[in-house]
Amino acid sequence: MQIHLNILHRWLGATLTLACVFGTSAAAQTATGDSATLHQILERLDRLEQQNRELAAEVGALRKELAAAHGVPQGAAAGAETAQSTPASTAPASDLDERLAVQEQRTDEMAQTKVESSQHFPIRITGMALFNSYINSNSSVPDVPTTLTGSGPLAGGATLRQTVIGLDYQGPEIFGGGTIHGFLNMDFFGPSSDPYGSSFRIRTAGIEFNWENTSIMVGQDKPLISPYSPNSLAEVGVAPLSDAGNLWVWQPQLRVEQRFHLNQTITLRAQASLFETREGYSGVTPAYGALQYARPSVQGRVALAYNFDDNRRIEIGSGGAGSTTHVADATVPSHVFTVDWFANPWRRLEISGLLFRGEDVSNLGGAGAGVTVFNPYYAIPVHADGGWTQFSFLATSRLTFNLFGGEQQNRGSDLYYGNLGKNEAYGGNVMYRIAPNVILSLESQQLHTTYLGTGHFLNNHYDLGIAYLF
Protein backbone atom coordinates (compact mmCIF):
# COMPACT_ATOMS: atom_id res chain seq x y z
CA MET A 1 0.00 0.00 0.00
CA GLN A 2 2.97 2.28 0.71
CA ILE A 3 4.22 1.85 -2.85
CA HIS A 4 0.65 2.42 -4.14
CA LEU A 5 0.40 5.71 -2.23
CA ASN A 6 3.79 6.77 -3.47
CA ILE A 7 2.64 6.10 -7.05
CA LEU A 8 -0.59 8.01 -6.34
CA HIS A 9 1.41 11.05 -5.20
CA ARG A 10 3.58 10.93 -8.27
CA TRP A 11 0.55 10.40 -10.57
CA LEU A 12 -1.20 13.43 -9.06
CA GLY A 13 1.96 15.44 -9.61
CA ALA A 14 2.09 14.31 -13.23
CA THR A 15 -1.61 15.18 -13.67
CA LEU A 16 -1.09 18.68 -12.29
CA THR A 17 1.88 19.10 -14.59
CA LEU A 18 -0.28 18.06 -17.55
CA ALA A 19 -2.95 20.52 -16.53
CA CYS A 20 -0.42 23.30 -16.38
CA VAL A 21 1.01 22.29 -19.72
CA PHE A 22 -2.41 22.20 -21.39
CA GLY A 23 -3.43 25.52 -19.81
CA THR A 24 -0.28 27.29 -20.83
CA SER A 25 -0.30 25.80 -24.29
CA ALA A 26 -3.95 26.64 -24.95
CA ALA A 27 -3.33 30.24 -24.04
CA ALA A 28 -0.31 30.34 -26.30
CA GLN A 29 -2.22 28.83 -29.20
CA THR A 30 -5.08 31.28 -28.76
CA ALA A 31 -2.71 34.19 -28.69
CA THR A 32 -0.37 33.27 -31.52
CA GLY A 33 -1.73 30.21 -33.33
CA ASP A 34 1.84 28.95 -33.60
CA SER A 35 1.97 25.28 -34.62
CA ALA A 36 5.35 24.88 -32.88
CA THR A 37 3.59 25.12 -29.50
CA LEU A 38 1.43 22.09 -30.30
CA HIS A 39 4.56 20.19 -31.24
CA GLN A 40 6.12 21.04 -27.87
CA ILE A 41 3.00 19.81 -26.06
CA LEU A 42 3.17 16.47 -27.87
CA GLU A 43 6.85 16.11 -26.98
CA ARG A 44 6.09 16.73 -23.30
CA LEU A 45 3.28 14.20 -23.39
CA ASP A 46 5.62 11.62 -24.88
CA ARG A 47 8.16 12.24 -22.15
CA LEU A 48 5.54 11.93 -19.42
CA GLU A 49 4.24 8.70 -20.94
CA GLN A 50 7.77 7.29 -21.00
CA GLN A 51 8.33 8.27 -17.36
CA ASN A 52 5.07 6.58 -16.35
CA ARG A 53 6.10 3.38 -18.13
CA GLU A 54 9.51 3.43 -16.42
CA LEU A 55 7.84 4.04 -13.05
CA ALA A 56 5.48 1.09 -13.57
CA ALA A 57 8.40 -1.18 -14.51
CA GLU A 58 10.39 -0.02 -11.49
CA VAL A 59 7.49 -0.68 -9.11
CA GLY A 60 6.98 -4.15 -10.58
CA ALA A 61 10.66 -5.00 -10.13
CA LEU A 62 10.64 -3.72 -6.54
CA ARG A 63 7.59 -5.86 -5.71
CA LYS A 64 9.31 -8.95 -7.10
CA GLU A 65 12.47 -8.21 -5.09
CA LEU A 66 10.47 -7.71 -1.90
CA ALA A 67 8.59 -10.94 -2.50
CA ALA A 68 11.82 -12.86 -3.09
CA ALA A 69 13.50 -11.32 -0.02
CA HIS A 70 10.62 -12.38 2.24
CA GLY A 71 10.27 -15.80 0.64
CA VAL A 72 6.79 -15.09 -0.73
CA PRO A 73 5.72 -17.49 -3.52
CA GLN A 74 5.24 -15.99 -6.96
CA GLY A 75 1.50 -16.60 -6.86
CA ALA A 76 1.17 -14.89 -3.51
CA ALA A 77 3.28 -11.99 -4.73
CA ALA A 78 1.06 -11.61 -7.78
CA GLY A 79 -2.00 -11.68 -5.55
CA ALA A 80 -0.51 -9.03 -3.30
CA GLU A 81 0.32 -6.89 -6.34
CA THR A 82 -3.27 -7.22 -7.56
CA ALA A 83 -4.58 -6.32 -4.14
CA GLN A 84 -2.36 -3.25 -3.97
CA SER A 85 -3.59 -2.13 -7.39
CA THR A 86 -7.20 -2.01 -6.13
CA PRO A 87 -8.57 1.56 -6.40
CA ALA A 88 -8.11 3.56 -3.21
CA SER A 89 -11.78 4.50 -3.19
CA THR A 90 -12.74 0.94 -2.16
CA ALA A 91 -10.85 1.20 1.16
CA PRO A 92 -12.32 2.93 4.20
CA ALA A 93 -11.38 6.59 4.53
CA SER A 94 -10.01 6.11 8.07
CA ASP A 95 -7.76 3.29 6.84
CA LEU A 96 -6.44 5.46 4.02
CA ASP A 97 -5.71 8.33 6.40
CA GLU A 98 -3.84 6.02 8.75
CA ARG A 99 -1.74 4.49 6.00
CA LEU A 100 -1.02 7.90 4.53
CA ALA A 101 0.25 9.09 7.92
CA VAL A 102 2.53 6.05 8.22
CA GLN A 103 3.83 6.63 4.70
CA GLU A 104 4.61 10.28 5.40
CA GLN A 105 6.40 9.36 8.64
CA ARG A 106 8.57 6.77 6.91
CA THR A 107 9.33 9.17 4.09
CA ASP A 108 10.60 11.69 6.63
CA GLU A 109 12.73 9.01 8.35
CA MET A 110 14.29 7.91 5.08
CA ALA A 111 15.08 11.42 3.90
CA GLN A 112 18.82 11.81 3.44
CA THR A 113 21.07 14.77 2.84
CA LYS A 114 22.51 14.52 -0.66
CA VAL A 115 26.29 14.59 -1.03
CA GLU A 116 27.29 16.60 -4.07
CA SER A 117 30.79 17.11 -5.40
CA SER A 118 32.07 20.37 -6.81
CA GLN A 119 32.00 18.74 -10.26
CA HIS A 120 28.38 17.56 -9.79
CA PHE A 121 29.11 13.84 -10.14
CA PRO A 122 27.74 11.21 -7.72
CA ILE A 123 29.71 10.45 -4.53
CA ARG A 124 28.81 7.64 -2.12
CA ILE A 125 30.08 7.49 1.47
CA THR A 126 31.09 4.01 2.62
CA GLY A 127 32.85 2.45 5.60
CA MET A 128 32.09 1.50 9.18
CA ALA A 129 32.48 2.70 12.73
CA LEU A 130 34.28 -0.22 14.39
CA PHE A 131 34.70 -0.82 18.12
CA ASN A 132 37.14 -3.55 19.22
CA SER A 133 37.65 -4.90 22.71
CA TYR A 134 40.52 -7.41 22.87
CA ILE A 135 42.65 -9.60 25.13
CA ASN A 136 46.17 -10.85 24.33
CA SER A 137 47.79 -13.60 26.37
CA ASN A 138 51.18 -12.08 25.44
CA SER A 139 51.51 -8.39 26.31
CA SER A 140 54.60 -7.92 24.10
CA VAL A 141 52.31 -7.46 21.05
CA PRO A 142 50.08 -4.52 19.99
CA ASP A 143 46.29 -4.64 19.74
CA VAL A 144 46.48 -6.37 16.32
CA PRO A 145 49.51 -8.73 16.44
CA THR A 146 51.08 -10.16 13.27
CA THR A 147 54.41 -11.48 14.64
CA LEU A 148 55.77 -11.97 18.18
CA THR A 149 59.06 -10.65 19.50
CA GLY A 150 58.94 -11.82 23.11
CA SER A 151 56.62 -12.88 25.90
CA GLY A 152 54.68 -11.11 28.63
CA PRO A 153 51.65 -11.34 30.92
CA LEU A 154 47.98 -11.10 29.93
CA ALA A 155 46.93 -7.69 28.59
CA GLY A 156 43.90 -6.16 26.91
CA GLY A 157 42.19 -2.97 25.87
CA ALA A 158 39.70 -1.36 23.52
CA THR A 159 40.02 0.80 20.44
CA LEU A 160 38.10 2.55 17.68
CA ARG A 161 41.12 3.21 15.47
CA GLN A 162 40.19 0.46 13.00
CA THR A 163 37.19 2.55 11.94
CA VAL A 164 37.12 2.92 8.14
CA ILE A 165 35.80 5.85 6.10
CA GLY A 166 35.51 5.58 2.33
CA LEU A 167 34.38 7.51 -0.71
CA ASP A 168 33.13 5.86 -3.88
CA TYR A 169 32.69 8.14 -6.86
CA GLN A 170 31.51 7.89 -10.46
CA GLY A 171 32.80 10.05 -13.28
CA PRO A 172 31.61 10.91 -16.77
CA GLU A 173 31.66 8.68 -19.83
CA ILE A 174 34.88 8.72 -21.84
CA PHE A 175 35.95 7.71 -25.34
CA GLY A 176 35.08 4.22 -26.56
CA GLY A 177 32.01 3.99 -24.34
CA GLY A 178 34.12 3.77 -21.18
CA THR A 179 33.33 5.02 -17.69
CA ILE A 180 35.39 6.34 -14.80
CA HIS A 181 35.11 4.97 -11.26
CA GLY A 182 37.14 5.89 -8.21
CA PHE A 183 37.50 4.97 -4.55
CA LEU A 184 39.32 6.24 -1.48
CA ASN A 185 39.43 4.34 1.84
CA MET A 186 40.96 5.75 5.03
CA ASP A 187 41.26 4.75 8.68
CA PHE A 188 42.85 5.92 11.96
CA PHE A 189 45.31 3.01 12.30
CA GLY A 190 48.48 5.06 12.20
CA PRO A 191 51.67 4.45 14.23
CA SER A 192 50.16 5.69 17.50
CA SER A 193 47.72 3.51 19.48
CA ASP A 194 46.87 6.37 21.85
CA PRO A 195 43.09 7.03 21.67
CA TYR A 196 43.81 10.78 21.43
CA GLY A 197 46.70 10.45 18.98
CA SER A 198 45.48 8.00 16.35
CA SER A 199 46.78 9.01 12.94
CA PHE A 200 44.54 9.34 9.90
CA ARG A 201 45.95 7.44 6.90
CA ILE A 202 45.12 6.27 3.39
CA ARG A 203 44.46 2.54 3.07
CA THR A 204 43.52 2.02 -0.57
CA ALA A 205 42.65 4.44 -3.34
CA GLY A 206 42.31 4.31 -7.08
CA ILE A 207 40.99 5.79 -10.30
CA GLU A 208 39.60 3.18 -12.69
CA PHE A 209 38.92 3.53 -16.42
CA ASN A 210 36.50 0.79 -17.42
CA TRP A 211 35.38 -0.40 -20.83
CA GLU A 212 33.33 -3.48 -21.66
CA ASN A 213 36.29 -5.88 -21.54
CA THR A 214 39.21 -3.69 -20.46
CA SER A 215 40.08 -1.86 -17.24
CA ILE A 216 42.99 0.38 -16.23
CA MET A 217 43.58 1.43 -12.61
CA VAL A 218 46.09 3.78 -11.05
CA GLY A 219 46.19 3.97 -7.28
CA GLN A 220 47.20 2.20 -4.08
CA ASP A 221 46.18 -1.38 -3.32
CA LYS A 222 47.57 -4.77 -2.29
CA PRO A 223 49.66 -6.84 -4.74
CA LEU A 224 47.86 -8.06 -7.86
CA ILE A 225 49.04 -11.63 -7.19
CA SER A 226 47.26 -11.72 -3.79
CA PRO A 227 43.65 -10.73 -4.53
CA TYR A 228 41.77 -12.14 -1.50
CA SER A 229 41.88 -11.89 2.30
CA PRO A 230 40.07 -13.72 5.13
CA ASN A 231 36.97 -12.20 6.76
CA SER A 232 37.65 -10.52 10.10
CA LEU A 233 36.58 -7.55 12.18
CA ALA A 234 39.46 -8.13 14.61
CA GLU A 235 42.10 -7.40 11.95
CA VAL A 236 41.08 -4.46 9.79
CA GLY A 237 43.96 -2.03 10.27
CA VAL A 238 46.15 -4.76 8.76
CA ALA A 239 44.90 -7.60 6.57
CA PRO A 240 44.01 -10.85 8.40
CA LEU A 241 46.84 -13.42 8.45
CA SER A 242 49.42 -10.79 7.56
CA ASP A 243 52.93 -12.30 7.95
CA ALA A 244 51.22 -15.71 8.09
CA GLY A 245 50.75 -16.56 4.43
CA ASN A 246 48.77 -13.51 3.25
CA LEU A 247 51.02 -11.33 1.06
CA TRP A 248 49.74 -7.91 1.96
CA VAL A 249 51.03 -4.37 1.69
CA TRP A 250 49.17 -1.38 0.26
CA GLN A 251 51.42 0.28 -2.30
CA PRO A 252 51.10 2.54 -5.39
CA GLN A 253 50.66 0.72 -8.69
CA LEU A 254 49.41 0.82 -12.27
CA ARG A 255 47.14 -2.10 -13.17
CA VAL A 256 45.67 -3.30 -16.49
CA GLU A 257 43.03 -6.01 -16.95
CA GLN A 258 41.63 -7.66 -20.07
CA ARG A 259 38.57 -9.94 -19.91
CA PHE A 260 37.76 -12.71 -22.39
CA HIS A 261 34.28 -14.25 -22.33
CA LEU A 262 34.83 -17.76 -23.64
CA ASN A 263 31.11 -18.50 -23.39
CA GLN A 264 28.15 -17.46 -21.24
CA THR A 265 29.57 -19.07 -18.09
CA ILE A 266 33.39 -19.05 -18.46
CA THR A 267 35.51 -15.90 -18.24
CA LEU A 268 39.28 -15.57 -18.56
CA ARG A 269 40.98 -12.55 -16.99
CA ALA A 270 44.54 -11.47 -17.83
CA GLN A 271 46.04 -8.87 -15.51
CA ALA A 272 49.37 -7.04 -15.31
CA SER A 273 50.70 -4.34 -13.01
CA LEU A 274 53.69 -2.16 -12.28
CA PHE A 275 53.96 -2.24 -8.48
CA GLU A 276 56.11 -0.19 -6.09
CA THR A 277 57.69 -2.55 -3.54
CA ARG A 278 58.38 -1.68 0.08
CA GLU A 279 62.02 -2.64 0.55
CA GLY A 280 62.08 -1.36 4.13
CA TYR A 281 60.42 -4.65 5.13
CA SER A 282 63.49 -6.61 3.96
CA GLY A 283 65.08 -6.51 7.40
CA VAL A 284 68.45 -5.26 6.19
CA THR A 285 70.64 -3.59 8.82
CA PRO A 286 71.77 -0.04 7.92
CA ALA A 287 75.37 -1.02 8.81
CA TYR A 288 75.70 -2.66 5.41
CA GLY A 289 75.00 0.50 3.46
CA ALA A 290 72.10 2.33 1.89
CA LEU A 291 68.94 0.44 0.95
CA GLN A 292 66.64 1.67 -1.82
CA TYR A 293 63.29 1.70 -0.03
CA ALA A 294 61.16 1.51 -3.19
CA ARG A 295 61.74 -0.57 -6.31
CA PRO A 296 59.52 -1.38 -9.32
CA SER A 297 57.99 -4.86 -9.47
CA VAL A 298 56.35 -6.32 -12.58
CA GLN A 299 53.41 -8.56 -11.75
CA GLY A 300 51.03 -10.68 -13.77
CA ARG A 301 48.05 -12.91 -13.07
CA VAL A 302 45.71 -15.08 -15.14
CA ALA A 303 42.39 -16.26 -13.67
CA LEU A 304 39.74 -18.59 -15.05
CA ALA A 305 36.20 -18.31 -13.61
CA TYR A 306 33.14 -20.50 -14.07
CA ASN A 307 29.90 -18.73 -13.16
CA PHE A 308 26.98 -20.87 -12.03
CA ASP A 309 24.78 -17.77 -11.77
CA ASP A 310 25.06 -14.15 -10.65
CA ASN A 311 26.03 -15.15 -7.08
CA ARG A 312 27.95 -18.43 -7.38
CA ARG A 313 31.27 -19.04 -9.09
CA ILE A 314 34.56 -20.93 -9.00
CA GLU A 315 37.72 -18.97 -9.83
CA ILE A 316 41.31 -20.21 -9.91
CA GLY A 317 44.19 -17.84 -10.60
CA SER A 318 47.94 -18.04 -10.96
CA GLY A 319 50.41 -15.19 -10.84
CA GLY A 320 53.99 -14.11 -10.52
CA ALA A 321 56.10 -11.08 -9.63
CA GLY A 322 59.68 -10.10 -10.28
CA SER A 323 61.93 -7.28 -9.03
CA THR A 324 65.33 -6.62 -7.45
CA THR A 325 66.47 -5.32 -4.08
CA HIS A 326 69.38 -2.86 -4.11
CA VAL A 327 71.43 -2.71 -0.91
CA ALA A 328 74.91 -1.19 -0.69
CA ASP A 329 76.77 -2.52 -3.76
CA ALA A 330 74.71 -5.68 -4.09
CA THR A 331 71.68 -6.51 -6.21
CA VAL A 332 69.38 -9.28 -4.93
CA PRO A 333 66.67 -10.88 -7.07
CA SER A 334 63.07 -11.08 -5.84
CA HIS A 335 60.62 -13.57 -7.40
CA VAL A 336 57.37 -15.13 -6.25
CA PHE A 337 54.82 -17.48 -7.86
CA THR A 338 51.28 -17.85 -6.56
CA VAL A 339 48.09 -19.89 -6.93
CA ASP A 340 44.85 -18.44 -5.56
CA TRP A 341 41.25 -19.61 -5.46
CA PHE A 342 37.71 -18.62 -4.58
CA ALA A 343 34.72 -20.96 -4.76
CA ASN A 344 31.12 -20.80 -3.61
CA PRO A 345 29.47 -23.65 -5.51
CA TRP A 346 26.81 -23.75 -2.79
CA ARG A 347 25.11 -20.61 -1.55
CA ARG A 348 26.05 -21.28 2.08
CA LEU A 349 29.73 -22.18 1.60
CA GLU A 350 32.71 -20.11 0.43
CA ILE A 351 36.31 -21.31 0.15
CA SER A 352 39.20 -18.95 -0.58
CA GLY A 353 42.96 -18.91 -0.22
CA LEU A 354 46.47 -18.54 -1.62
CA LEU A 355 49.72 -20.54 -1.93
CA PHE A 356 53.08 -18.97 -2.79
CA ARG A 357 56.72 -19.86 -3.22
CA GLY A 358 59.53 -17.40 -3.86
CA GLU A 359 62.58 -15.52 -2.70
CA ASP A 360 62.89 -12.10 -1.09
CA VAL A 361 59.11 -11.77 -0.62
CA SER A 362 59.16 -9.42 2.38
CA ASN A 363 59.01 -6.42 0.01
CA LEU A 364 55.53 -7.67 -1.01
CA GLY A 365 54.30 -8.14 2.55
CA GLY A 366 55.99 -11.39 3.55
CA ALA A 367 57.25 -12.13 7.07
CA GLY A 368 60.78 -11.77 8.34
CA ALA A 369 63.96 -10.90 6.48
CA GLY A 370 63.85 -10.94 2.70
CA VAL A 371 67.60 -10.51 2.24
CA THR A 372 70.63 -11.75 4.16
CA VAL A 373 73.73 -9.53 3.74
CA PHE A 374 77.14 -11.07 4.44
CA ASN A 375 79.19 -8.01 3.46
CA PRO A 376 78.59 -4.80 1.46
CA TYR A 377 79.28 -6.72 -1.77
CA TYR A 378 77.52 -10.03 -1.18
CA ALA A 379 73.88 -10.68 -0.28
CA ILE A 380 71.42 -13.50 -0.92
CA PRO A 381 67.61 -13.67 -1.04
CA VAL A 382 65.74 -15.61 1.63
CA HIS A 383 63.59 -18.37 0.11
CA ALA A 384 60.09 -18.68 1.52
CA ASP A 385 56.96 -20.83 1.19
CA GLY A 386 53.53 -20.00 2.56
CA GLY A 387 49.84 -19.61 2.11
CA TRP A 388 46.45 -19.45 3.78
CA THR A 389 42.90 -20.71 3.36
CA GLN A 390 39.46 -19.88 4.75
CA PHE A 391 36.13 -21.69 4.97
CA SER A 392 33.05 -19.51 5.39
CA PHE A 393 29.68 -21.02 6.26
CA LEU A 394 26.67 -18.74 5.77
CA ALA A 395 24.28 -20.37 8.22
CA THR A 396 21.52 -17.79 7.71
CA SER A 397 21.18 -14.37 6.13
CA ARG A 398 22.36 -12.93 9.46
CA LEU A 399 24.81 -15.56 10.82
CA THR A 400 28.23 -16.45 9.32
CA PHE A 401 31.02 -18.69 10.61
CA ASN A 402 34.61 -18.24 9.35
CA LEU A 403 37.54 -20.62 9.93
CA PHE A 404 41.00 -19.67 8.62
CA GLY A 405 44.66 -20.46 8.98
CA GLY A 406 47.98 -19.70 7.33
CA GLU A 407 51.75 -19.74 7.68
CA GLN A 408 55.03 -18.64 6.15
CA GLN A 409 58.27 -20.58 6.50
CA ASN A 410 61.67 -19.08 5.61
CA ARG A 411 64.51 -21.41 4.63
CA GLY A 412 66.87 -21.81 7.54
CA SER A 413 70.04 -22.02 5.44
CA ASP A 414 69.40 -18.48 4.15
CA LEU A 415 69.04 -16.94 7.63
CA TYR A 416 71.22 -15.53 10.33
CA TYR A 417 70.96 -16.96 13.81
CA GLY A 418 67.95 -15.27 15.45
CA ASN A 419 66.09 -14.42 12.22
CA LEU A 420 62.40 -15.25 11.90
CA GLY A 421 62.08 -18.80 10.62
CA LYS A 422 58.34 -19.50 10.77
CA ASN A 423 55.16 -17.58 11.51
CA GLU A 424 51.72 -19.21 11.63
CA ALA A 425 48.24 -18.21 12.73
CA TYR A 426 44.96 -20.11 13.08
CA GLY A 427 41.58 -18.87 14.17
CA GLY A 428 37.92 -18.36 13.54
CA ASN A 429 35.06 -16.00 14.16
CA VAL A 430 31.31 -15.81 14.20
CA MET A 431 29.57 -12.75 12.75
CA TYR A 432 25.94 -11.94 13.47
CA ARG A 433 23.92 -9.07 11.98
CA ILE A 434 21.89 -7.74 14.87
CA ALA A 435 20.50 -5.19 12.38
CA PRO A 436 20.86 -4.84 8.61
CA ASN A 437 23.88 -2.55 9.06
CA VAL A 438 25.18 -3.58 12.50
CA ILE A 439 27.48 -6.62 12.88
CA LEU A 440 28.55 -8.30 16.12
CA SER A 441 31.73 -10.39 15.86
CA LEU A 442 33.48 -12.76 18.27
CA GLU A 443 36.93 -13.96 17.18
CA SER A 444 39.69 -16.14 18.58
CA GLN A 445 43.13 -16.52 17.01
CA GLN A 446 46.37 -18.23 18.02
CA LEU A 447 49.70 -16.92 16.71
CA HIS A 448 53.04 -18.79 16.73
CA THR A 449 56.39 -17.19 15.84
CA THR A 450 59.63 -19.19 15.73
CA TYR A 451 63.10 -17.65 15.46
CA LEU A 452 66.09 -19.61 14.20
CA GLY A 453 67.84 -21.06 17.23
CA THR A 454 66.46 -18.57 19.77
CA GLY A 455 62.96 -19.68 20.66
CA HIS A 456 59.26 -19.92 20.01
CA PHE A 457 56.58 -17.46 21.15
CA LEU A 458 52.82 -17.88 21.45
CA ASN A 459 49.88 -15.48 21.71
CA ASN A 460 46.15 -16.11 22.09
CA HIS A 461 44.10 -13.20 20.78
CA TYR A 462 40.41 -12.74 21.66
CA ASP A 463 38.35 -9.96 20.15
CA LEU A 464 34.83 -8.59 20.44
CA GLY A 465 33.96 -6.31 17.54
CA ILE A 466 30.88 -4.20 16.85
CA ALA A 467 30.65 -2.58 13.42
CA TYR A 468 28.11 0.01 12.28
CA LEU A 469 28.12 0.03 8.49
CA PHE A 470 27.29 3.21 6.63
> What average pLDDT does the segment 202-207 reach?
96
Which tens digit of pLDDT belongs to each residue from 132-175?
999 999 887 778 889 998 888 999 999 999 999 999 988 888 99
> What average pLDDT does the segment 52-69 reach?
68
Q: Is residue 248 predicted with pLDDT exceeding 60?
A: yes
How open is the CA angle 315-437-169, to the nearest 5 degrees? 65
pLDDT for position 287: 64
Q: Identify the burial level of 86 via C-beta atoms within 10 angstroms of its C-beta, where 0-12 means exposed, 13-18 middle and 19 or more buried.
A: exposed
Candidate from 22-31, 127-136, 148-157 with smallest mean pLDDT? 22-31
pLDDT for position 343: 97
Domains of the chain by start residue, with CATH: 2-110 (no CATH), 123-469 (2.40.160.10)
Which residues touch 327 (CB under 8 Å, ≥6 apart)? 282, 284, 288, 289, 290, 291, 292, 371, 373, 379
* Phi, psi values for residue 338, rounded to 5°: -135, 155
> What average pLDDT does the segment 198-208 reach?
91
Q: Is residue 360 predicted with pLDDT exceeding 60?
A: yes
Reported confidence tier of residue 245, pLDDT bands at 50, 70, 90: very high
Which residues touch 416 (CB under 8 Å, ≥6 apart)? 369, 372, 452
pLDDT for position 72: 47
DSSP code at position 116? B
Reported confidence tier of residue 2, pLDDT bands at 50, 70, 90: very low
Q: Is residue 243 predicted with pLDDT exceeding 80?
A: yes
For residue 253, how many C-alpha atoms fall within 13 Å in the half-sphere facing its CB? 28
Reported confidence tier of residue 36, pLDDT bands at 50, 70, 90: low
pLDDT for position 84: 41
For the entire predicted model, the pTM comes to 0.74
High-pLDDT (> 90) share of the chain, %: 58
Between residues 94 and 228, the one the model is more confident about: 228
Which tens digit of pLDDT belongs to each residue from 306-338?
999 988 999 999 999 999 999 878 899 999 999
Q: Is residue 217 predicted with pLDDT exceeding 70?
A: yes
Which CA distances in Å does 32 have to 27, 28, 42, 201, 287? 9, 6, 18, 65, 92
High-pLDDT (> 70) share of the chain, %: 76
User: If you compute the radius of gyration of the chain from its CA atoms, what whole number of angstroms results?
Assistant: 29
> What average pLDDT does the segment 73-87 reach?
42
Q: Is residue 367 predicted with pLDDT exceeding 80?
A: yes
- State which amino acid sits at residue 119: Q
Q: Is residue 194 predicted with pLDDT exceeding 70?
A: yes
Candidate from 34-38, 344-348, 394-398, 459-463 with smallest mean pLDDT? 34-38
Reported confidence tier of residue 430, pLDDT bands at 50, 70, 90: very high
* Phi, psi values for residue 212, rounded to 5°: -55, -45
Query: From CA 128, how far away is CA 308, in angstroms rounded?
Result: 31
Q: Is residue 349 predicted with pLDDT exceeding 80?
A: yes
